[in-house]
Each structure stands twice: as structure tokens, then as C-alpha cells.
Amino acid sequence: MSKKVRIGNTDLVVNPIGLGANAIGGHNLYNGIDEQLNRELLRTAINEGLDYIDTAFTYGMGRSEEIIGEVVNEMGNRQGLTIATKGTQRIVDGERVIDNSPAYLRETVDASLKRLQTDYIDLFYIHYPDENTPKYEAVGALKELKDSGKIRAIGVSNFSPEQLKEANQDGYVDVLQGHYNLLNRQAETDYFPYTIANNISFVPYFPFASGLLAGKYTKDTTFDDFRKNMPHLQGEAFEQNLAKVEKLRVIANDKQTEVSNLVLAWYLAQDAIDTVIPGAKTPKQVIRNLKTLELQLTPAEMETIGRIFS
């Protein structure tokens, strides 16, 4: 099934179910990353109609971008894909330093282009705000890169509401990527009124709350990566969250779908959101997530799901 959406005001038109690629080459984030499986996942995803990939320099410190570049080059369909990446963490004396200066943004975009084996990036995000650079100046540098054709759209991520407004003072911000899922709905009040009013598309990260909302964890599930420190996956909070997921499962069963699809469809029905970028570890998960396109939620179902997590 194919259904395309435009990302905000940009000229990027994509399958709304993208791929969050922090597990592609993300050796610094997850244990046991298998690059052969990563490549197989990408090939399967693209063959199944996924055309929108979200990566970043920090996913494997360039490795995610390199693997994506290799597979896209091998498949020969760069034109058919929308690739989003992010930069701003530079390595100085072995330490990560966040840098939004125009000079560094130009440098990091060039480095991403090389790793991705392409001459344009569809959507480039400032991954994190730094402390010193005026946000409109950083975005102004991206506007120049857009005018030169190196990037096609401008994104910011992890910006506070005030930083977003400053960044968008000239109206150049196309996309905001921020933490949002059924367990963390702060963005609905903090960002959505502004992003909707200013035609900025909101891309939620952690749509499955790092896997919990995909519906397969039980109280006996344990984590051996960055998830072991996440409060919503520990102790009593974890059990309470699992109970909410069970309520979703009743609705999913009724609709003959999976919890993961129900959750993604709920996000896509929000006015503020055009696309989602669930992370996936296996080709099977990607194929499953793409099935969200077959799902339609009624207003009553939307409300019930929202109420479970209100």
C-alpha cells in the first residue's frame, strides 16, 4: 500500500512511515549491532516501499551514515529516497563538543555528504543547540546551504520552545524533531501550537518510548543498553506502563492489528505530525511498521487511546 505525504512546507514527499536509523551502525548506542543485518534491513525496507530514512552523525559516529550511503549507492535509487541527517557534535581532543557555528555547520554537512555518498541531503537538522551561537545565525547558515543545493530542508532538534522561536525568526525552519510519544505528551502544549501556526512539521522521536509502546515487553524484560537507565522502563513505572500497553492490546486485537501499528497511526492522525521514524532492529519490524498505512482510527478510538495515556 502506498500513501505519500508532504513534510510540512517542504518539497519532500514521502511514505509517512520512515525509518529511525540509530540502530544502523549505532555501535555506541546498542550492543551487538550486526552490520550485515543492518544492510539487509535497509534493502528490505526500501524494497517494501520505505523511502525516508532518519540518521545522524552521532549514530555510530558516522557509521550509520556510511552504511546507508553504501546500501543506497549499491541499490542505485538515491533519487527515490529522502535522507535526513543531523550534525553539531564535533570531536575535540577526544571529547564531544556541541557546535552550531556557521563554519562548523558547513563542515559537518560536507562530511555527512561524503559519508552518505551523495551530493545533497534532503533534510539536515541541527541535532542539539549549543550555548553560544544565536539560533537565527545557525539557521541562517543552513539557509545558505539550502540555497546552494547541498541541503533541501532545514531542521532543528532538541531546541527549547524559546530557542525554536529564535531559530525561526526569519521563517526558515521546516522541521522540528523532538521527544514525543504516548507516555511523554509535553510537546502537545510546548510546541504544537507554534509549529502548527508556523507550518513547521513536528517529527516525534522515541515514538515507541524505546520499544515499550511496540507492545512486546513483559515485566521480566531486561535491558543491556542505554535503556537500562530509562525511568519508564524500571520498577513500578515499568509495570504501570505495561498495564497501559495491555489496554492498547485490547483495541489492537479488536482491529486485527498490532499495538505498534495502533500507536504509529495515533501519531499520524495528529495535525502537528506528518511522518514518524520508528527505530527498527530487524527487517521483520520494518515490514510490520509499514503495515500502519493499512490502519484507519476512528475519532472514538483516537480519544480512547489518548485517554489511556492522559
Query: Which one, 59 or 192, has the nearer CB to ligand NAP?
Result: 59
- Tell me, residue by residue from 195 to 214, as one string, x for binding to ligand NAP by CB under 6 A and - for no binding: ----------xxxxxxx--x
Clarify whether 59 is annotated catalytic. Answer: yes
Region binding ligand NAP by CB under 6 A among candidate stretches 15-23, 70-78, 162-170, 247-255: 15-23
User: What is d(CA 117, CA 289) in angstroms, rounded to the nearest whole number?
Assistant: 27
Residue closest to ligand NAP when measured from CB atoms:
279
Report the nearest approach of ligand NAP to the CB of residue 221 (Å).
Answer: 8
Given the complex with ligand NAP, which of 148 and 253 has the nearer CB atom? Answer: 253
Q: State the minimum distance, in angstroms, from the CB of residue 299 to ligand NAP.
A: 25
Tracing cell 510519544 back to the chain, one arrives at 181
Binding string, residues 49-78; x marks residues near ligand NAP by CB under 6 A: -----x------------------------
Query: Quick one: 218 or 299, whose CB is closer to ligand NAP?
Result: 218
Residue 135 binds to ligand NAP (criterion: CB under 6 A): no
SS3 assignment for the chain: CCCCEECCCCCCEECCECEECCCCCCCCCCCCCCHHHHHHHHHHHHHCCCCEEECCCCCCCCHHHHHHHHHHHHHCCHHHCEEEEEECEEEECCEEEECCCHHHHHHHHHHHHHHCCCCCECEEEECCCCCCCCHHHHHHHHHHHHHCCCECCEEEECCCHHHHHHHCCCCCCCEEEEECECCECCHHHHCHHHHHHCCCEEEEECCCCCCHHHCCCCCCCCCCCHHHHCHHHCHHHHHHHHHHHHHHHHHHHHCCCCHHHHHHHHHHCCCCCCCECCECCCHHHHHHHHHHHHCCCCHHHHHHHHHHCC
Q: Which of residues 251-310 bind ligand NAP (CB under 6 A)?
A: 260, 277-281, 285, 288-289
In the bound state with ligand NAP, the residue whose beta carbon lies nearer, of 62 and 93, is 62
Size of the residue set binding ligand NAP (CB under 6 A):
26
Instruction: Tell the smallest beta-carbon distance from residue 246 to ligand NAP (Å).
Output: 15
Nearer to ligand NAP, 148 or 294 (CB): 294
Phi-psi region of 63 (alpha: psi -120 to 50; beta: other; left: phi over 0): alpha
Min. distance of Cβ 204 from ligand NAP in angstroms? Answer: 8
**How many residues can be counted in the chain?**
310
Given the residues 52, 59, 205, 267, the one annotated as active site: 59
Q: Work out which of 118, 177, 241, 292 binds ligand NAP, going by CB under 6 A.
A: 177
Q: State the residues that interact with ligand NAP by CB under 6 A.
A: 20-23, 54, 157-158, 177, 205-211, 214, 216, 260, 277-281, 285, 288-289
Report, as residue numbers or ranges, the catalytic residues.
59
